[in-house]
Amino acid sequence: MNSEPTFEQEWAAQELKEVNALLMPTTDNHCNLCRYCDQLLATDFHFMLHQPGYRALKISASKCSLCYIIFHAFDREIEEGQFYSGSRQWSKEMETHDVIQLAVIPEETKTHEYLKRVNCHWAGGSSRGSFRLNGDTVAIYRLRPEEKRLKPVLMTSYDLNARLETIGDWIKLCLSSHKCSDLDYDTQTPTRLLDLEPSTTGNFIRLVHANNINARYAALSHCWGTGRPLTTLTKSLASNMQGIEFRKLPQMFQEVVQVLRHLQIRYLWIDTLCIVQDDTQDWEQESAKMCQIYRNAFVCIAALAARDCKQPLIYDFRTSFIDQNSGYACRVVDWHCKEGVLPLDQRAWAFQEILLSRRLLLFGKRQISWHCYGAHLCEDDFHRSVWQPGETTRTSNKNEFDNLVPEDVEQIYECWQNIASEYSSRMITYDDDRLPALAGITTHFQSLLNDEPLVGLWRNHFVQGLAWKALPGASRNINRGIPTWSWLSVKGLFQYQQYVGTYAHLDPALRLCDATISWSGTPLSSTIASSTVTVEGSLSPVILSPEQSSRIDTTGYFVLEMEDGASVRDVTLDNGAGTIPSDLYCAHLATTRSQDPINGPFDRERLFVLLLQPSTAAENTFLRIGIGELGPSRNDSGLNDISLSKLMPRSYHTRFSLA
């Protein structure tokens, strides 16, 4: 005998019935939208309840174009743990009981590009609250009239010539309307360029000396991949200058040549072909010129989606749902989207190439886009003045970098710290390339600051530059003679201490007395032969009690007890979790007073210390092993009434070296 269905089973059956009814498309719906989305496009309102739940949305996404967009925006963030509202995390209860509410904001002025902007929320359920999905917006755009559009018709797929015409229009707009053309360019060209003009004897390109060339050139930013790309070596230099057959170029290089020939840009710089890869002197000299190579290029072509040069530069154009009849287009704006973190976004060499370039032609997985000082344009014709979804990793420092001025020195130093932290997240094939891959950015900052670079730090900002902290998973990676005091000696992520920055008044406790960096070859792109740094300040041995000597957890944070109840707290080892040396010293790095940009200084002070270990290679020389914050162990009110002598009772003022 069959048992009666449970309440849950009846409820599920009823929900499925309702979902199936909702999925029945309207008879005149050209774009196969569900009834909810069809109303969304046709009706003017300020909010609506969309699908009855996550499950319904998921089912509808298989048939409705707009539901597909919304669902994947939600689903992606749920997987990545981005979905939250206050302290309430994603739960199965929200999946089954909550409904989706779309808050619709109609166009208010003619200057807005969107007709309606739709914010997605979870609403209803047992909590009766509104739960916003962070970062996601569905924008309902009305395609612009022909006279205001760069292209008269927006199709879901372009042939190559039409797409190249769009790029040509972007360049014309930049040259006629943007300040890019007013910027001073160095007349110096790279040592070698590729001449793309077809030979009279066949389809060849040639490697040429660029000494007497005064013409526009493009530069390529691309991933080398795991295989060996087509390169110029000592033995192939002469033959490459005679000519390289077009058919022998890998697919990406062929497509780059096609694009530039269409744009009538005759010369191209590619690192693999314009640098003699097995000539150490040539490699170091050219690597040190990355700033001028990319800053002076008319445009940089960035192959974002290709993992190596055998993959294509140009992928089929794909945009969000477009209704060709009504002229509405829908696109998800998602600031947390990881889809835009493409292969090139992860590479260390490409980081400086993107930052240094004045004009960028970005070839992504879905479409081609353009970025310069005056505009950011995309094939889907959604113009905007800021970087958009999925591009935050690639461009987190780009706008700040582009707007630096020599007069704002503190802003320049802060921008450097942001760039250094981002650079530490990038992958690099050869550890020895970590300094050369930063040489171009370093050269640019050197011209802005009129300061001397010291292995990732700066002479006039040295103490502040020491206030970096390795993040979990980092490890010491000593190579190329990089000193332990530099963040470049650590392999992995790092960040600068929160209270040593713009919103803190910093009193340096260490004084830089002398610093000398000797290079084995070309500065910034060769190995470090030797480094000498001498500082003056308070140094104190750390006394470890037996019960505290092993207090290290897996993240590398630990606490060291000192005399008179003082302690070093929130201490991080540069090498992650490990054994604390028995012979350990603290050097007072700086004292900071937190400062609100509006209300002025707070009363709270913080005292930062470097953790040092005596070097066995030289007397009165120390190796950096970590950084910490010093404060009273049972008093969290600050350091106002506690003197340095009480916190570090055995400290003494001395001059010593860091290695």
Q: Crossing angle for the helix pair 65-79 and 35-42, nearest 10 degrees?
A: 110
Two structure tokens written together for 224: 């080398």
Rounded to an integer, what distance in angstroms lies between the CA atom of residue 382 and that of residue 171? 17
Domain residue ranges of the chain, discontinuous segments joined by +: 28-142, 160-326+336-395, 409-658
Cα 493 versus chain centre, distance? 13
Two structure tokens written together for 19: 């979902």
Please answer whether residues 51 and 57 qualify as being in contact, where contact means their C-beta atoms are separated by less than 8 angstroms: yes
- Residue 158: the pLDDT is 59
Residue 398 pLDDT level (bands cut at 50, 70, 90): confident
Residue 349 pLDDT level (bands cut at 50, 70, 90): very high
Q: Token pair 């970098």 is at which residue?
A: 401
pLDDT greater than 50 at residue 243: yes
State the Cα torsion 221-227-231-234 to the nearest 10°: 140
Could you read off the pLDDT of 603-618 as tens digits, one per residue? 556 788 899 999 999 9
Higher pLDDT, 66 or 255: 255
* DSSP labels, 561-596: E-GGGEEEEEEEETT-S-PPPSS-EEEEEEEEEEEE
pLDDT greater than 80 at residue 404: yes
pLDDT above 90 coverage of the chain, percent: 38
Could you read off the pLDDT of 461-512 as tens digits, one per residue? 999 999 999 988 888 876 668 999 999 999 989 998 765 554 456 788 999 9
What's the angle, vertex CA 267, arms to CA 265 and CA 273, rounded to 5? 140
Strands 376-378 and 368-371: antiparallel
491 beta partners: 475
* DSSP labels, 268-312: EE-HHHHSBTT-HHHHHHHHTTHHHHHHH-SEEEEE-S-SSTTS-
Higher pLDDT, 3 or 587: 587
Q: Which of 13, 150, 121 shows the shortest CA–CA distance to 57?
A: 121
Could you read off the pLDDT of 102-141 as tens digits, one per residue? 545 444 433 444 444 455 544 433 333 333 333 334 444 4
Rounded to an integer, what distance in angstroms lies between the CA atom of residue 584 and that of residue 564? 18
Please answer whether residues 269 and 193 qualify as being in contact, where contact means their C-beta atoms are separated by less than 8 angstroms: yes
* DSSP labels, 381-419: ---BSS--TT-HHHHTTHHHHHT--TT-HHHHHHHHHHH
Average pLDDT score, the chain: 74
Please answer whether residues 65 and 318 qualify as being in contact, where contact means their C-beta atoms are separated by less than 8 angstroms: no
pLDDT greater than 50 at residue 527: yes
Rounded to an integer, what distance in angstroms lies between the CA atom of residue 589 and that of residue 74? 46
- The arithmetic mean of pLDDT across residues 406-420, rounded, is 93
Strands 360-363 and 299-303: parallel
Exposure string of 153-187, with b = 16+ CB inside 10 Å and e = fewer, is ebeeebeeeebbebbeebbebbeeeeebeeeeeee
Residue 63 pLDDT level (bands cut at 50, 70, 90): confident
- Residue 554: the pLDDT is 36
Give the other-Cβ count within 10 Å of 414's Cβ: 17
The gap between the terminal CA atoms of the chain, to the nearest Å, is 83
